Homo-oligomer: A and B are copies of this chain.
Amino acid sequence: MPVLVVGSVALDSVETPFGKADDVLGGSATFFAAAASLLTPVQLVGVVGTDYPMEKLESLAARGVDLAGLERADGPSFRWRGRYHHDLNAAETLETHLGVFSRFSPKIPEQFREAPFVFLGNIDPRLQLDVLNQVERPRLVACDTMNFWIQSRRPDLLELLRKVDLVTLNDGEARQLSEKVNLVQAARWIMDLGPRHVIIKKGEHGALMFSRDSVFFAPAYPLESVFDPTGAGDSFAGGFIGYLTRCNDMSDASMRRAVIYGSAMGSFAVEKFSTERLMTLTRSEVDQRVRQLRELTTFEEELPS
């Protein structure tokens, strides 16, 4: 069962205290696809410029990412240059060149329009809405967003949220969107707009999935070294939606496991630059990390007398 992802495909240049990488694979759709494709077929819609080194995407294609929706437009590709300091908490953006991405108008190929699972990566909410007009009754639509759209495209974003089943945001974005400091209140405010599930990503502090009747918390795997945090959130989304798509089941039990797969994928993504670690990853490594994440929080409830 395939998942459709619409988002950015970029070239990243990243500096961390541990090294630097230039013009490596980046973008929300790319990280999502790298993670999800280990679990289920992926249909990718995005845009790159004529300068994009297409051979870099071959490994994605080899893993079942259908690139029929990846447009090549005249002009330079989206490039991002960023730097992380010692605490790896926040990226310092050094340069952003949107290039052809600034005129991106997603065209969903005919053969992608019945994708049962759809992930709308972090792009202009107007484009996310436009994608929804091109697809046929997916079983689940999830979207991501960011501070920039919350501030500059609030009405469009609110309209989008009325039409999606699930939204992923980080804690700061949830607070900014809801204007509530408390995350439980923020999640409820967002669910009241429409989404049945709100996933609040807290980076090294794990992720919370709020649903109508329950809350689930997935810890982050306690890594001894984080190499490059770029793409962790999109890799999380790829693991999460990829797992749901694969099992095509949206029971609470399945959603909970999906969040754990998201956490596992996010933890692998940050072990190397770009999608490097995700692309060498095996299913058994993922399953092992899922078991480790389970071990991390498991305790027996019964009380000694």
Q: Is there contact, CB below 8 Å, between B297 and A182?
A: no
A296 within 8 A of B: yes
Q: Which of A2-10, A75-83, A218-226, A231-239 contacts B (4 or more CB under 8 A)?
A: A218-226
CA of A219 to CA of B257, assembled, Å: 17
**Can you identify 14 A-B contacts, CB atoms within 8 angstroms?**
A182-B223, A182-B224, A182-B226, A185-B224, A202-B205, A216-B296, A217-B296, A219-B297, A247-B303, A256-B298, A257-B301, A291-B301, A294-B301, A297-B297
Interface size class of A (residues with CB under 8 A): 35 or more
A103 within 8 A of B: no
Contact of A219 among B87, B185, B206 (CB under 8 A): B206
Q: Mark A256-269, 1 if CB is under 8 A from B, else 0.
A: 11011000000000
Chain A contacts to B: CB under 8 angstroms = 86-88, 181-185, 202, 205-206, 208, 214-219, 222-226, 247, 249, 253-254, 256-257, 259-260, 287, 290-291, 294-301, 303-304
Q: Is there contact, CB below 8 Å, between B224 and A217?
A: no
Q: Is there contact, CB below 8 Å, between A224 and B297?
A: no
CA of A206 to CA of B217, assembled, Å: 11
Nearest-CB residue, chain B, relative to A187:
B222
Q: A260 to chain B: which residues have CB within 8 Å?
A: 299
Shortest beta-carbon distance from A71 to chain B in Å: 35
Q: A217 to chain B: which residues have CB within 8 Å?
A: 219, 222, 296-297
Counting chain B CB atoms within 10 Å of each CB, the highest count among A214, A295, A297, A303 belongs to A297
Q: A257 to chain B: which residues have CB within 8 Å?
A: 299-301, 303
CA of A249 to CA of B218, assembled, Å: 28
Q: Is there contact, CB below 8 Å, between B299 and A256?
A: yes
CA of A256 to CA of B304, assembled, Å: 13
Nearest-CB residue, chain B, relative to A202:
B205
Q: A223 to chain B: which residues have CB within 8 Å?
A: 182, 184
Beyond A202-B205, A254-B304, list 20 extra A-B contacts (CB 8 Å). Answer: A87-B181, A182-B223, A205-B206, A206-B206, A208-B222, A215-B222, A215-B296, A216-B296, A216-B297, A217-B219, A219-B219, A219-B297, A247-B303, A249-B304, A256-B298, A256-B299, A259-B299, A260-B299, A294-B301, A297-B297
